[in-house]
Amino acid sequence: MQLAIAAGVAVLATGLFLAPLSAQLDDQAMRRALAIAQTTAAQPGLAERVLGSRPTPGNPVQAEAERIRVATGAEYVVIVDRRGVRWSHPNIHEIGRVVSTDPSEPLAGREVMEIDSGTLGRSARGKVPLRDASDGIVGAVSVGIEYNSVRDRLLAAIPGLFAYAGGALAVGAIAAYLISRRIQRQTHDLAFSDITALLTEREAMLHSIREGVVALDAGGRVRLMNDEAQRLLGLGPEATGRPLDEVLGAGRTTDVLAGRIAGKDLLTVRGRRVLVTNRMPTDDGGAVATLRDRTELEQLGRELDSTRGLIDALRAQDHEHANRMHTLLGLLELGMHKEAVEFVTEVVGVHRATAEEVTEKVHDPLLAALLVGKATVAAERAVSLTVAEATRLPDRLVDPRGLVTIVGNLVDNALDASAGSADARVEVELRAEGRTAVLRVSDTGPGIPEDQRELIFTEGWSTKEVPAHGKRGLGLAMVRRLAERQGGSVRVSAGVDGGAEFSVVLPEALTDAGLAAAAGGAP
């Protein structure tokens, strides 16, 4: 196919060159004939000889015309009078006869260039009027150049043209062969049908597997992204061909996919999803990255941690309950009924007071239930969990589950930090400011050094021991992502009691109904 294309191009180029060359040679021949005719008509005394002699083979006009014809190599030089009678001709038998072509145009004073057929065959002609000394037209001069001579020049040039065309074709054939061999090596000698089948199979495989695949070129642009990767990263097909930094924006996910953070099974958070990423460089300078969704697994791991904590709390409560029952049984056996009633009232009242305090200030049922449960766990860990007096939050949240995740992560971290410290306390404040929800969680733990206050929000960073189900360092990163997704922010500072204080601001977190409820002080 490449050879056929090269041959076709060579033939087309040759034809495009020959077409104007033929027209150019014809034009040159006609102009040469016209120039000879003009020179002949300008010969001194030629007009007077036409007027003063007879059209015979031996007349002086014939002799002058033949001299010019021989000198210029023209096919003929014919001079006619106003009647169209020849006074000169290479064939003396034609002298005295009327010309075979119409001489009216040169006799009317116009110059003519043409290629035509006459008594001597096909020729390039030039015709001019013959004028006397007073500029009157006494006849015409017609000069012809044999057209075969022009054709011969054209035919003589064709072999050279074909030689050049053949050379170009040979170079094209060699180049086609080399390119063909290179393509065969690069495609492992596969036929076009095989390549098409492999491409179809690859597309079907990439878009059917339940693992995200992102291919990058050497310039960091997205070369390929399958359906699962688009789903996990929250992107569309328009991301293909664009730089990775432009598509994903700055962040850990971009750094991991771009190779700026090296390692295996790297954790990253994209939106609400926890992803495990691996990256493999390719020979052309690009890379292929795989993404696995560990959101459900991470949630199950956290639920497992929470369940274990709850089991420990229930185990401790079981012992405490047994102790209280033994105490109650002793009071009853001793007949101290009044003291027994006071003891039961006190025990029940503590838990009821905690629940009532929370539900009075936090009207959202999910958040209230979370804080009551966390208070129980905190009590078992010898940590005092309190709700600040300034807490006022209606039950008309736009995303209550997101706020539950934020509060739960921050309270868990605060309990871990405060446990074991003297006078261990955790304080939670939730309040509404217009449509904005403000959360503050402070503890009495060791605090966070100032140089690590941004680092703690990085995926994978943690000061705790690694749990049995996997890696830590995702809670605070997810808190920041959830806050930023709602247009909010998270920051950490030193607490009043020396521990850490986390502040979360969530704009547009309340609906209109929630705003009205907050203003009225009722749920």
Does residue 354 register a pLDDT over 70?
no
Helices 295-333 and 337-361, packing angle to 10 deg: 150
- CATH of residue 285's domain is 3.30.450.20
Residue 457 is given by DSSP the state: G
Q: Give the pLDDT score at 435.
A: 83
pLDDT digit string, tens, across residues 141-181:
999 887 665 556 666 767 777 787 778 778 878 888 888 88
438 occurs within a structural domain = yes
Does residue 467 register a pLDDT over 50?
no
Q: Are residues 129 and 112 in the same domain?
A: yes
180 occurs within a structural domain = no
Average pLDDT over residues 485-494: 84
- Asked if 471 and 460 count as a contact pair (C-beta separation under 8 A), the reply is yes
Does residue 91 register a pLDDT over 80?
yes
Beta-carbon contacts of 269 under 8 Å, excluding residues fewer than 6 positions away, are 252, 253, 275, 459, 474, 477, 478, 481
Q: Are residues 378 and 445 in the same domain?
A: yes
Q: Are residues 261 and 301 in the same domain?
A: no
Q: CA distances (Å), 445 to each of 264, 408, 413, 416, in order?
A: 33, 17, 10, 8
Q: Are residues 218 and 127 in the same domain?
A: no
236 occurs within a structural domain = yes
Residue, of 314 and 385, whose pLDDT is higher: 385
Beta-carbon contacts of 240 under 8 Å, excluding residues fewer than 6 positions away, are 222, 223, 224, 225
Average pLDDT over residues 48-74: 88
Q: Residue 300: which pLDDT band, with cuts at 50, 70 and 90?
A: low
Q: Are residues 279 and 319 in the same domain?
A: no
Q: Give the pLDDT score at 298.
A: 58
Number of domains in the chain: 3
Last residue of a domain, one of 105, 135, 153: 153
- Asked if 430 and 441 count as a contact pair (C-beta separation under 8 A), the reply is no
Does residue 127 register a pLDDT over 90?
yes
29 occurs within a structural domain = yes
Q: Are residues 246 and 333 in the same domain?
A: no
Name the CA radius of gyration of the chain, rounded: 52
Which residue's structure tokens are 């789903």?
231
Q: Residue 523: which pLDDT band, with cuts at 50, 70 and 90?
A: very low
27 occurs within a structural domain = yes
185 occurs within a structural domain = no
Q: Give the pLDDT score at 470.
A: 44
Instruction: Tell whether pTM > 0.85.
Output: no
Other residues' Cβ atoms within 10 Å of the Cβ of residue 40: 26
507 occurs within a structural domain = yes
Using CA atoms, how far apart are residues 476 and 456, in angstroms rounded to an integer?
7
Using CA atoms, how far apart are residues 67 and 483, in angstroms rounded to an integer?
108
Taking CB atoms within 8 Å and a gap of at least 24, the contacts of 233-240 are 233/270, 233/291, 234/270, 234/271
Q: Are residues 105 and 12 in the same domain?
A: yes
Q: Are residues 250 and 131 in the same domain?
A: no
Q: What percent of the chain has pLDDT over 90?
A: 9
Q: Give the pLDDT score at 311.
A: 67
Q: Residue 457: which pLDDT band, with cuts at 50, 70 and 90?
A: confident
- Please provide the average confidence, as pLDDT, over all residues in the chain: 79
Q: Residue 23: which pLDDT band, with cuts at 50, 70 and 90?
A: confident
Q: Look up the domain containing 8 and give its range.
A: 2-153
Q: Give the pLDDT score at 357.
A: 78
Other residues' Cβ atoms within 10 Å of the Cβ of residue 460: 16
Q: Are residues 282 and 314 in the same domain?
A: no
Last residue of a domain, one of 153, 172, 188: 153
- CATH of residue 376's domain is 3.30.565.10
Q: What's phi and psi for 90, nearest 5 deg?
A: -60, -30
184 occurs within a structural domain = no
Q: Are residues 447 and 353 in the same domain?
A: yes
